Amino acid sequence: MKKIVVLAGFLLSVALVRAQSSGSNPAIQSSPVQSALDSSPLDMSYYPVDYPVLKIQDKLNEPLIARVVYSRPQKRGRKLFGELVNYGQVWRLGANEATEIEFFRDVKVGGKLIKKGRYTLYALVDTDKWTIIFNKETDTWGAFRYDSSKDVLRVSEPVEKQPGITEVFSIAFRKADRGAMLSFSWDDVLVTLPVSWK
């Protein structure tokens, strides 16, 4: 009898877990706090790389220079450049809210001065180069209200073809001689932007 009760309890637990994970539980569905998972999750990229982890481990040997906040769309078998991302049209450099970068000191981007502060990043994508745009209008969705009169800086960099495919759009910093390289990669495309402060 004890085994039957334990088995019944186990089966009931499995049924409840399946019901909750399949979304059939009305209490979970109607929660005003919970929202659906985004297919293009939000992410951050820092220079120094892994800054928050290094900070809590007391392993920092460089000050915080920059942080990028962006959403990461996925390729999912689609043709990206020239279709999903149109050539010659302003792109938000990711998905959802337009990508933002914050510099915690004055820097040079592509050899041009940009002041400490927060900017929205856009791109004009072409087959052989991307023009990266720094714009002072922040906290905006997509590129629907992009205003070129608020551009602070435009820098064009060549497109490099990668041997492999980057499935999920990625923005990352890597250390360089006089600063860092900020890279944008998706599909078989890589664009790298030099950022210096030394």
Secondary element (H or E) of residue 53: helix 51-56
Strand partners, 45: 68
Residue-wise pLDDT tens digits, 120-179: 999 999 999 999 999 999 999 989 999 999 999 999 999 999 999 999 999 999 999 889
Based on the domain organization, do 140 and 73 belong to the same domain? yes
Name the band, by pLDDT with cuts 50, 70 and 90, for residue 35. Answer: low
Average pLDDT over residues 67-80: 94
Q: What is the mean pLDDT of the chain?
A: 85
**pLDDT score of 30:** 46
Q: Where are the beta strands (DSSP E) in the chain?
A: 42-47, 66-71, 90-91, 100-103, 107-109, 112-114, 117-125, 129-135, 151-176, 179-196
* Residue 122 contacts residue 138 (beta carbons within 8 Å): no
Based on the domain organization, do 20 and 107 belong to the same domain? no
Based on the domain organization, do 115 and 136 belong to the same domain? yes
Reference 37, options 74, 69, 80, 84; nearest CA is 74
Based on the domain organization, do 126 and 66 belong to the same domain? yes
Question: Which residue range(s) make up the domain with 11?
Answer: 1-36
**Per-residue pLDDT at 188 exceeds 90:** yes
Scanning the structure block, which residue is given the tokens 């023009």? 131
Q: Give the global pTM.
A: 0.79
Based on the domain organization, do 29 and 88 belong to the same domain? no
Based on the domain organization, do 47 and 17 belong to the same domain? no
Based on the domain organization, do 48 and 30 belong to the same domain? no
Name the band, by pLDDT with cuts 50, 70 and 90, for residue 41. Answer: confident
Based on the domain organization, do 14 and 76 belong to the same domain? no
Based on the domain organization, do 6 and 91 belong to the same domain? no
Based on the domain organization, do 17 and 105 belong to the same domain? no
Residue-wise pLDDT tens digits, 151-162: 999 999 999 999
- Count of domains forming the chain: 2
Question: What do you get for the CA distance between the two ends of the chain, in Å?
Answer: 76
Based on the domain organization, do 59 and 28 belong to the same domain? no
Average pLDDT over residues 88-97: 94
